[in-house]
Structure formats: C-alpha cells, structure tokens
Amino acid sequence: MPPSMPSTHEIKICVDQPDDKLEVYRSDDLEIDWSYLVEGYWGEDTYHNGFICYTAAKTSNGTWLLDATQRNASLDDLTQEDIDEGEFINDDQAQAIHDFGGLEAAQRHTYSRIAAVGLGMPDGPYNAEKLYKAVVEGGGKEIIDFDPDL
C-alpha cells in the first residue's frame, strides 16, 4: 500500500476591517447545521468590550465556518424604567438607544460575521476549536469571562 499524501488545509481569518471579507463563504446550504461553540464576554479595555457567541458549521462541500455574533453588553442590566426615572446612562448606552430607536430594539440587535473559514480540513472532532484558536491567535476577540448563567 503506498504511503498516503499528507492533507493540506488552510484557515482564513477575519479579525479586522473590512469585516465582511469572509462572508462569501457563508453558505446558502439549507442543510447547514450551526453548532454552539462558546460564548461570553471579551474585553480589550474599558471602551472596547462586549458579548460574543461563536458557532461553527460544516457546509455540504466540506468547508468549515466560524460565525461570531455580537451584541451590546452595556445594555444588559438597563431597563426602560431606569431611563424613565432618569438613571445615569453612559455615552455608549445613549448612542445605542438612539441608533436603534429605543432600548428594546437596541437590546435585541446582534451583529454576525464569519470570523474564520477552514478549507480542506480533514474530518475531526476539534475543527471548530481550531478555527476559534486561529481567530484568537490572529488578534480576534477572545472570551475572557464566561457567564455562569449561560
């Protein structure tokens, strides 16, 4: 039996602007099954932080996708009653509420982008984790705080 050729694969990541460069890989495949990988809070500093959820899927042509869905975590504990009673809200909260026309709409808003793509990856149980690791090592958003209620 001849020796098998080593499998070559490529992982592409998108952790900067333009953040939609990997969206071309998003599949119209109706059979695609997105699986939860990990979610929690990320943070670089006081002004750059939030909540993110990573999900992964393998398309019918064998391409692995890692989707990153974010939401504005600064609105998590804010209620309309707080606003109506004149509670202090910070500039980020005020801007989000203004941009989406109200607190409820701002709290529902999410933003999703393909953060990594695995091309030619062999079948294996840890492909989604490999994509997440590549994103983090490439400067992407790493989850630093896991919400125990999730």
Question: Tens digits of per-residue pLDDT, 4-55?
Answer: 444 688 999 999 888 899 999 987 776 788 999 999 999 877 767 889 999 9
How far does the chain reach from its first CA to its final CA, in angstroms?
A: 50
Which whole number is the average pLDDT over 89-94? Answer: 88
- The domain spans of the chain are 1-72+112-140, 73-108
Question: What span, in angstroms and rounded, lies between the C-alpha atoms of 146 and 143?
Answer: 7
CB-CB contact of 116 with 12 (8 Å): yes
Question: What span, in angstroms and rounded, lies between the C-alpha atoms of 88 and 91?
Answer: 10
Which whole number is the average pLDDT over 79-93? Answer: 90
By CB atoms closer than 10 A (0-12, 13-18, 19+), residue 118 is: buried
pLDDT, tens digit, 9 for 90 and up, residues 95-125: 999 999 999 999 999 999 999 999 999 888 8
Examine the pLDDT at 63 and tell me if it is beyond 80: yes
Write the DSSP string, 17-58: SSTTTTGGG----TT---EEEEEEEEEEETTEEEEEEEEEEE
Q: Which neighbouring-strand residues pair with 58?
A: 64
